[in-house]
C-alpha cells in the first residue's frame, strides 16, 4: 500500500551561500561557514531545545527544495568521479526519490530560539524538517569503510588571491566583521566547485570555460583555475 506523507519545516536555514553553485558537496568541508536556524514558534523552541546545549554537533534533515528535475535516475554522476557513474543509493546525490538530505553540523551557540551552526552544505533558505543530536558514543565509527568516495585520491588545490582581490577582501571584512571570509573562500575553492563539464580547459584562452564566480553572502567571488591544482581569486564584487 502506497502512503504519502506530508512534512512541515521546523525552520529555514540562513546560510552564507545564496546560490547552489559554490555550496560544498558535503557538510564539514568548509568548517567556518556559519549559518543560523530559527525554530518556528509553533514548535516551542524555548522548551523543545532544552538539553541540546550539551551536544557539540547535530544532524540536519532537510529538503533539497531547489532540485529542478523530478525524473528518477538509478545512476548518477558524482562530481568526484569526473564523468563516471555510480548507483544512486551509493551516493549522497541531491537527486533522490524523496529529495531529503542529511548533514552533520557543529553547534556554535544556541540563542533562545535560534541555533548558530557551522559547516553546513546548504543553500540559503533550505527548509529544515528536523534536527537530531549527534551521538558520538554510538554513531562515531572510526573503523568504518568509506567506499568509492575515499578510493578517489585528489591532489590538493592551491588557492591564491590577487593583490586586487586581497584589497577588496580586506574592505569586505572591515564592513561585515566576518574575519572568516578568506578561509571560507579558500575552502570552497579547494573543493573545486566547477561542474565536470567546465574542467580540463585550464590552459585554454576561453573566458566562458575558465572564469567563474560563486556567491558568498552579498559578494561575488571571481576565480580562474590556471592549472588543475591552482586557482586564483582575481576579483571580488560586493
120, with CB counted inside 10 A (0-12, 13-18, 19+), is: buried
Nearer CB in complex with ligand SAM: 47/74: 74
Residue whose C-alpha is closest to residue 216's, from 192, 180, 190: 180
Nearer CB in complex with ligand SAM: 102/166: 102
24 vs 216: CA distance, rounded Å: 12
Q: Which residue is nearest to ligand SAM (CB)?
A: 101
Nearer CB in complex with ligand SAM: 63/173: 63
77 vs 56: CA distance, rounded Å: 33
Q: Give Cβ neighbours of residue 158 (< 8 Å, ≥ 6 apart).
A: 229, 230, 231
The nearest distance, CB 44 to ligand SAM, in angstroms, is 26
The nearest distance, CB 178 to ligand SAM, in angstroms, is 21
Q: Give Cβ neighbours of residue 47 (< 8 Å, ≥ 6 apart).
A: none
Nearer CB in complex with ligand SAM: 35/103: 103
The nearest distance, CB 94 to ligand SAM, in angstroms, is 4
The residues that touch ligand SAM, with contacts defined as CB under 6 A, are 20, 23-27, 64-67, 92, 94, 101-103, 121-123, 126
The nearest distance, CB 86 to ligand SAM, in angstroms, is 12
Amino acid at each position: 500500500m502506497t502512503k504519502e506523507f506530508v512534512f512541515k519545516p521546523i525552520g529555514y536555514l540562513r546560510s552564507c551561500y545564496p546560490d547552489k553553485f559554490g555550496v560544498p558537496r558535503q557538510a564539514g568541508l568548509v568548517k567556518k561557514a556559519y549559518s543560523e536556524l530559527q525554530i518556528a514558534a509553533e514548535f516551542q523552541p524555548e522548551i523543545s531545545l532544552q538539553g541540546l546545549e550539551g551536544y557539540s554537533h547535530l544532524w540536519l534533515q532537510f529538503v533539497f527544495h531547489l532540485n529542478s528535475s523530478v525524473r528518477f535516475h538509478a545512476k548518477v554522476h558524482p562530481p568526484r568521479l569526473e564523468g563516471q557513474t555510480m548507483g544512486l543509493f551509493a551516493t549522497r546525490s541531491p537527486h533522490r526519490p524523496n529529495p531529503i538530505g542529511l548533514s552533520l553540523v557543529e553547534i556554535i551557540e544556541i540563542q533562545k530560539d535560534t541555533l548558530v551552526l557551522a559547516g553546513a552544505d546548504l543553500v540559503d533558505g533550505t527548509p529544515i524538517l528536523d534536527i537530531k543530536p549527534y551521538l558520538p558514543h554510538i554513531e562515531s565509527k572510526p573503523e568504518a569503510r568509506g567506499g568509492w568516495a575515499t578510493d578517489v585520491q585528489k591532489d590538493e588545490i592551491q588557492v591564491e588571491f590577487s593583490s586586487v582581490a586581497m584589497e577588496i577582501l580586506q574592505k569586505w571584512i572591515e564592513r561585515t566583521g566576518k574575519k572568516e571570509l578568506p578561509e571560507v573562500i579558500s575552502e570552497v575553492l579547494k573543493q573545486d566547485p566547477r561542474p565536470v563539464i567546465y574542467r580540463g580547459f585550464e590552459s585554454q584562452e576561453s573566458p566562458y570555460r575558465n572564469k567563474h564566480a560563486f556567491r558568498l553572502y552579498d559578494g561575488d567571488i571571481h576565480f580562474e583555475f590556471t592549472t588543475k591544482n591552482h586557482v586564483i581569486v582575481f576579483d571580488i564584487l560586493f
